[in-house]
Structure 1
């Protein structure tokens, strides 16, 4: 047992304070961070870290937060980093978030006050079955909550404060990293791993209580450009080759009963159109391609290209360009080389009195890319649910268990060194 207690509701108070700060990222922005408002939270976090005694806490020009909890042991222990992201998703408003604590939840429908059409029902959110008697936090119905990933930020901050105040707990040097822009895929673009100086890491950005994730999709992004033939529509017979219609026909030809997000689950991959724009003469479509297996990922890209070529045979005067670029790879390739990282994570969860649930992520995390940048990094639960939506929620009790797990991880690495 870690010995951690949520004294004076400090954990939920931290979390609520952070959620009220708008930190939405913006994929259309070229800057880092993509939105300056992310630094508003960053400044508060640095101030709090300094106040609790983390003397080297700082935020760099790109909005990354670094800090060190000094070792309390003479043993030579690997340096462990705990990482969460500060930004929230652009998919749903993050402005004027009004968190609500629903005390002693008893399974009732949670009708959110600012939009009564937004209702959390247990039959739609199965993990609510495990929250009877707990305190569930939601937003008010017009915004996301921001538990993704401010729950993780609050949990790391609370664990850091606990370890600083309880120096009799033996642990090695611990690093803290808070990143911007994870939600738009740029979370570790400018992370300075030399400055960080960690050997291994854990992102605190998972969903269900007890989950630990050591596997993600491998991911590619594809851009398809069609150059058609434009002419006056009044005199277009036999001449016009409409690039918009060609792109639409290609998308229509892709499989509908498989290889799409809406028809796949577990380890099944997909080809997913995420954007389309253009005119008669020139049109462009953006795709994301996902699979847990790199060979299958490659095959999905080849299927997309063969579909394009097949459709283009009907349009002899049109041309295409398909560019497929890697985005991230399955972190399991790296983590399998360092089995202790996941093993100690599972033990830490079990010490908190929880059943550990090893899982795969149908997506990616900062840990995906950190692993391939030389910092092996699985993902630990933060308790966040229904993220990127107005129905997002987290429970205080699940967050408490996440704090316990973080503290336990630090102790276990020291014990086994």
Structure 2
């Protein structure tokens, strides 16, 4: 059994590569199921967000990471293979586990300590479970990741002040425009990032805020608690004519605004400056829109300066978070090894107990039934010797750095009949 991480992130790949590698949430379960059906993995969870597309998988064969890396055609993304080869990475074993725990705890995020990725991981886990793509080993690892994330939030200062990409977007807008007080804003999209954005804008004494989504009902549900006005998506042309800022974070698979439309809007605005912050991956706004006169377009990678400032503020908490990750990786490895060793331990105990009982019965046959105390003393002695004998091999199996090798040694030494669970 081997744990593998395969993918790319904002640390390894630029935005144009990440948006080509992006896999919609509805497709992640099917993708993992396909990899299982092609005997590339035993189980897997696929996480695809604005900043990463990563597969967390359990494999059986030692060459699987290499074969999995080459299984490019089975992934439903648009990234050319040469770009995949250049920007993707693969990790195995405890290094892979530590990486997943870092991701779950927000330590590998653009904004250090952000919690949104944990919710995304839980949804990816649910998709994998629906697809029948989980086994007990991956469940143990994912539980370890969730436990590490919870501890990081509660035992370090990273959980005291929530941060997210939305925080970075609002901070970037402040860097460009100064105070946002009195500014008018159009938010595109009605997902979690937009909800956070609306809450943050309300704290900035912002002017009028509009929210547009393909579903007006959903837009209204999100807008009302934040004091924003929901508008039909078809009405955004009129709204763009009056706002100072557009913040976009929809889940659309294509551009919501192309450069031509932005140019038309800007002409109607008589050239008044327009700031657009596009947090979406794939991007909502055509990158060429940034060349339109009077328009300043920021994408998610342009938020790096804000992210660096956030990292500096939180640098002091990172060592404690890293210590938690190390502890939880060890605990998870112990749980995995114990599970790997359990069938061998059970078979060993059964084998030795069987030998003990046969030898004991042979000797008890020479002791008169009336000598009850003698017979009981012989049984107790046999059980004590068995327990003492088993203590060393069982401890060695549980502490072995290679449970598979340890099981093989015990199998050969004691001719064990091992029944393994397949789930």
Task: Classify the TM-score, shorter chain.
Answer: under 0.3
Higher normalized helix content (fraction of residues): 2
**What TM-score do you get using the length of structure 2 for normalisation?**
0.23
**What TM-score do you get using the length of structure 1 for normalisation?**
0.23
Higher RCO (CA < 8 A, seq sep 6+):
1
* Structure index of larger Rg: 2
Higher normalized strand content (fraction of residues): 1
